[in-house]
Amino acid sequence: MASVANQPLVFNAERDGLALEETSDKIDIVNVLKANLNRELCQAEKDIHEEATFDAGKDKCQFRQYEAACDRVKSFYREQHEKQTVAYNLKARNAFKSKTRAEMTVWEAMEKLNTLIDESDPDTSLSQIEHLLQSAEAIRRDGKPRWMQLTGLIHDLGKLLFFFDAQGQWDVVGDTFPVGCAFDERIIYPHTFKGNPDHDHEIYGTKNGIYTPGCGLDNIMLSWGHDEYLYHVVKDQSTLPDESLAMIRYHSFYPWHSAGAYMEFMDEKDEMMLAAVRAFNPYDLYSKSDDVPRVEDLKPYYMDLINEFFPNRVVRW
Ligand SMILES: O[C@H]1[C@H](O)[C@@H](O)[C@H](O)[C@@H](O)[C@H]1O
Ligand SMILES: [Fe+2]
Ligand SMILES: [Fe+2]
Residue 4 DSSP code:
G
Given this model, what pLDDT does residue 58 score?
A: 80
Binding residues: 64, 118-120, 131, 155-156, 159, 174-175, 226, 251-252, 284
For the chain, domain boundaries: 71-316
**Ligand in closest contact with the CA of 280:** 3
Burial 47-70 (b: 16+ CB within 10 A, else e): eeeeebebeeeeeeeeeeeeeebe
Q: Atom 3 (ligand 1): residue with closest C-alpha?
A: 174
240 pLDDT above the threshold of 80: yes
Q: Is 220 helix (H, G, I), strand (E, B) or coil?
A: coil
CB 232 within 8 A of CB 93: no
Lowest-confidence segment of 181-185, 291-295, 305-309 by average pLDDT? 291-295
**Nearest atom (ligand 1) to Cα of 123:** 1
Which percentage of the chain shows pLDDT scores above 70? Answer: 83
Cα–Cα nearest to 253, from 180, 168, 188 = 188
- What is the ipTM score, two decimals? 0.98
Say what the pTM is: 0.84
Alpha-carbon Rg for the chain in angstroms? 26
Binding residues for substrate: 64, 118-120, 159, 174-175, 251-252
| Residues, Cβ < 5 Å to ion ligand 2 | 156, 252
8 pLDDT above the threshold of 50: no
